[in-house]
Amino acid sequence: MSTINELKDSLNTKTLHLVLLTIATGGIYPLLWIYKNTSTIERITKNHIASSSFIIWIAVCVGLGGALAGSGDVSIDMIAGLLTIASWVLYIIWAFKARKAVQEYALHEHKVDLKTNAFYTILFTLYYVNYCINDLPEAKRKQNILAGNDAEGVEA
């Protein structure tokens, strides 16, 4: 059995750093983070989230949406807007799949009922998933306290 910290330690990304890197890279870093870390999340949680082609389609929508935006031609700007909306939808789909994988992992591997918020998943997508992953040890600690178990049992 893995420790509750395994997923958090494998990803090793603070949510604030993820937000700051998104700003510093003009929105490119979330794509890199998803591409790099989806396989790690899948390996540890033993749940499929998304294929690499799904992630590439997110990148295509983001890239073309950004490249075509502001062209001055109404029809091209509409296509850019549709591609941008498509990228948001794909991000949301990824986030819900990842959230479900993390919840299942927490429940089956560590007996932690990880409470998550669907609205936050839609609004913050991968940032909320990363936050939930980083919060797993704390959720385990709180559940142990509420159950009357030893609070030091976070590693178990």
pLDDT tens digits, residue range 2-58?
Answer: 799 999 999 999 999 999 999 999 999 999 999 999 999 999 999 999 999 999 999
- Grade residue 147 by pLDDT with cuts at 50, 70 and 90: confident
pLDDT of residue 80: 95
The residue whose two tokens read 């990842």 is 98
Residue 156 in this model has a pLDDT that exceeds 80: no
